[in-house]
Amino acid sequence: MKRGLSRILLITLSLSFILPMMMVLIWSATVSWPFPEIFPRGFGLRGFQEIFRPGSPALYSLLTSIRISIIATLLTLGITLPGGKALGIYEFPGKSFIKIFVLAPLIISPVAIGMGVHGTFIRMGLTNTELGVVLIHIVPGIPYGIRIFTNIFELVGEDLEEQGKVLGAGSVQTFMHITLPTVIPGIISAGSMIFIISFSQYFLTFLIGGGSVQTFPLLMVPYIQSGDRLMAASYSVVFIIVALMVLLAIEKTLRLYYRKQSGIAGVFYSRKKVRS
Amino acid sequence: MFKVNKRRLKPYIYLFPVISILLFVFTLGLGNSIMQSLGYRPGIGLYEVTLDYYREVFRSGGFLSGLLFSFRVSLISSLLAAVIGVGIAYLLVMQKKEWPVLQALLKLPIIVPHLVAAFLIFTIFSQSGFLARLSVLLGFIETSREFPPMIFDTRGIGVILAYLWKGTPFIFLIVYQLLRTIETEMVEAASNLGAGGKELFFRIFLPLSLPGVFSAFIILFAFSFGSYEIPFLLGPTVPRALPVLAYVEYINPDWTNRPYAMAINMVLAGVSVLLVWMYHWAFSRYQQFRKGH
């Protein structure tokens, strides 16, 4: 294939996925755009004013969403980091089975999972509570956390930790100064992915939260259903910008920490890079 | 002696939290669903185990057409996503420059939630959407009704498009990362020996990326087969996608309807277990393949 042709094909294909996003951006900033006009009648920020007006349910639900997703992300990281370490470093009976089992939430329908645990959650008093929503949000993030940490620990191994222990570091010291700094890149990518999954969640939130836990996606759906494109578009834009901002904040804070701690880990990574 | 035991126990201790959560969800959750789907509901005094609910579910037209709809929509959207995703990745690898801006923009749909993807498809493909407006402008149609329905339509075109829009960047990302690691020497050697674009694609790029594409395809298929949001917002009421149908049965105020919802859920999970098996098969093949190189 000629270079020019392949370039045109690449750009056309990519644009057909990138341009649709412009539609949402344009809709969010219109005043009115009746059919069959091809251009909006005017531009304004009514949708955003409605979302950010003081005391608006949207603003409140945005805070609820961020809170739930950050707690769910921290909990998921907390359980998948040691799990990934076990799968990445050690050999033990049952390993291959567990490796498949932890992928199950990626494959089995959240509808089946949600309705399955719904009864148990009711009996435990977890439905209609934020705690219940946080707990159910952990499930879909597990496969991503496990996969990323398994890969990282397969690469890093246990040598550095052993050396630290030989030199007299305790478990807490080893974890804080060796394990954590070496897996920071994994925490950033797994954390971002898990946050996005939880932040986007709709079905599990409304099933377990029962309408009492109003997250941002829950408020957005009625606008999409009723065809209120201006509001639906404004919600979408706010959603994407907030998600990007949180992801950026996660990355920046952790990178800062990483640089401070990177004495040993930095050396390790640069060495790996040179070798490969 | 004790030390050896502790060392052996270590991975299990590390895995304990994550495994106990998954066991809780899957044994209690799916266990409950299985019992209810078999009509065993001690809570309301039903102890008889029966396959009647499955029989009835399979006999009902709504279920079969829903199963077919879900299967068709998932298969078409994941296949198209795989083909286009591989295509974009291959075209990008063949460029001299890395095109970082294009790459970043292509990754953006991954963080866009499915709800927004559904809305986005709606603004473009609905009968009052952008394409309909364009058709009016070009004189193809006069009223919005003349525009072929692609949203809420029985063929599920809108649903397919929404999954395609979300899935393609996912495949692209996985394949592009795989293709980039292929040594340039291998490619150069091949082109020195006279391999053209076609040979490079079919002899080097495709075989090396196929296992990754396959597992990504399985993930996409399973996701679109089992998720609720997109068919709920863009799908038709007849036939209903299986996850939507299961939820409709579930919230039916008549409690005796519950077992039907659970039987549908078991079919959803059953197809998924089949997929896990295929995924495992693909993954082990992939590992062997990598070891062979």
Q: What is the pLDDT of residue A272?
A: 45
Pick from A66, A108, A103: nearest CA to A196: A66
Q: Are residues B124 and B22 in the same domain?
A: no
Q: Are residues B181 and B139 in the same domain?
A: yes
Q: Pull the structure tokens for residue A268.
A: 């390790």
* Number of domains composing chain B: 2
What is the CATH classification number for the domain harbouring B144? Answer: 1.10.3720.10
- Judge if the upstream peptide bond of residue B236 is cis by omega within 30 degrees of 0: no
Q: What is the pLDDT of residue A275?
A: 38
Q: Is B118's Cβ below 8 Å from some Cβ in A?
A: yes
Nearest C-alpha of chain B: how many angstroms from A185?
17
Chain B residue with CA closest to A200: the answer is B113
Q: Give the integer Cα–Cα distance in Å for B173 and B114.
A: 18
Q: Mean pLDDT, to the nearest integer, of B29-50? A: 83
**Domain-located, residue B42:** no
Name the pLDDT band for A262 (thresholds 50, 70, 90): low
Chain A partners of B266 at a C-beta cutoff of 8 Å? 112
Q: Are residues B221 and B121 in the same domain?
A: yes
Nearest C-alpha of chain B: how many angstroms from A53?
22
For residue B275, is pLDDT > 80? no
Q: Give the integer Cα–Cα distance in Å for B151 and B134.
A: 17
**CB A113, CB B222: distance < 8 Å:** no
Q: Are residues B125 and B181 in the same domain?
A: yes
Q: Give the integer Cα–Cα distance in Å for B149 and B126.
A: 7
Inspect the interface and report whether the beta carbons of A232 and B119 lie closer than 8 Å. Answer: yes
Nearest by CB to residue A119, choosing from B32, B108, B246, is B32
Domain ranges of chain A: 1-44, 55-275
Q: Is B213's Cβ below 8 Å from some Cβ in A?
A: no
Residue A213 DSSP SS3: coil
Q: Is B121's Cβ below 8 Å from some Cβ in A?
A: yes
Cα separation values, A182 from A32, A159, A264, B26, B219, Å: 52, 12, 8, 33, 29
Q: Are residues B12 and B103 in the same domain?
A: no
Nearest by CB to residue A107, choosing from B136, B165, B222, is B222
Q: Is B132's Cβ below 8 Å from some Cβ in A?
A: yes
Q: Are residues B127 and B169 in the same domain?
A: yes
Segment B175-186, tens digit of pLDDT: 988 888 776 777
Q: Are residues B116 and B227 in the same domain?
A: yes
Nearest C-alpha of chain A: how many angstroms from B24?
9
Name the pLDDT band for A271 (thresholds 50, 70, 90): very low
Nearest C-alpha of chain A: how many angstroms from B98?
12
Segment B104-125, tens digit of pLDDT: 899 889 889 999 999 999 999 9
Q: What is the pLDDT of residue B163?
A: 97
Q: Is B179's Cβ below 8 Å from some Cβ in A?
A: no
Q: Give the integer Cα–Cα distance in Å for B148 and B125.
A: 9
- Chain B (235-254) residues lying within 8 Å, Cβ to Cβ, of chain A: 243, 246-247, 250
Q: Give the integer Cα–Cα distance in Å for A77 and B201.
A: 39
Q: At what angle do helices A180-200 and A130-156 cross, to 10 degrees?
A: 140
Phi/psi region, residue A55 (left: phi>0; alpha: psi -120 to 50; beta: rest), is left
**Domain-located, residue B45:** no
Q: Mean pLDDT, to the nearest integer, of B66-71? A: 94
Q: Are residues B104 and B29 in the same domain?
A: no
Residue A42 DSSP SS3: strand
Segment B243-274, tens digit of pLDDT: 999 999 999 888 778 888 999 999 998 987 88
Q: Are residues B59 and B158 in the same domain?
A: yes
Q: Give the integer Cα–Cα distance in Å for B73 and A196.
A: 25
Q: What is the pLDDT of residue B76?
A: 97
Q: Are residues B137 and B241 in the same domain?
A: yes
**Domain-located, residue B44:** no
Q: Mean pLDDT, to the nearest integer, of B68-96? A: 92
Inspect the interface and report whether the beta carbons of A112 and B265 lie closer than 8 Å. Answer: yes
Nearest C-alpha of chain B: how many angstroms from A160?
17
Reported ipTM: the value is 0.89
**Residue B49 corresponds to which amino acid?**
V
DSSP state of A202: -
**Residue B4 corresponds to which amino acid?**
V
Q: What is the pLDDT of residue B53?
A: 86
Segment A204-251, tens digit of pLDDT: 999 999 989 999 999 999 999 998 999 999 999 999 999 999 999 988
Q: Are residues B15 and B98 in the same domain?
A: no
**Domain-located, residue B5:** yes
Chain B partners of A120 at a C-beta cutoff of 8 Å? 28-29, 32
Segment A13-68, tens digit of pLDDT: 999 999 899 999 999 999 889 888 889 998 999 999 999 999 899 999 999 999 99
Pick from A108, A77, A254: nearest CA to A182: A254
**Domain-located, residue B46:** no
Q: At what angle do helices B206-226 and B61-94 cross, to 10 degrees?
A: 150
Q: Mean pLDDT, to the nearest integer, of B151-162? A: 94
Superfamily in which the A55-275 domain is placed by CATH = MetI-like (1.10.3720.10)
Least confident segment among A36-40, A247-251, B52-56, B191-195:
B191-195
Nearest by CB to residue A107, choosing from B14, B111, B275, is B275
Domain of B25, in residue numbers = 1-37
Name the pLDDT band for A111 (thresholds 50, 70, 90): very high
Least confident segment among A152-161, B122-131, B174-183, B284-293:
B284-293
The percent of residues above 90 in pLDDT, for chain B, comes to 44
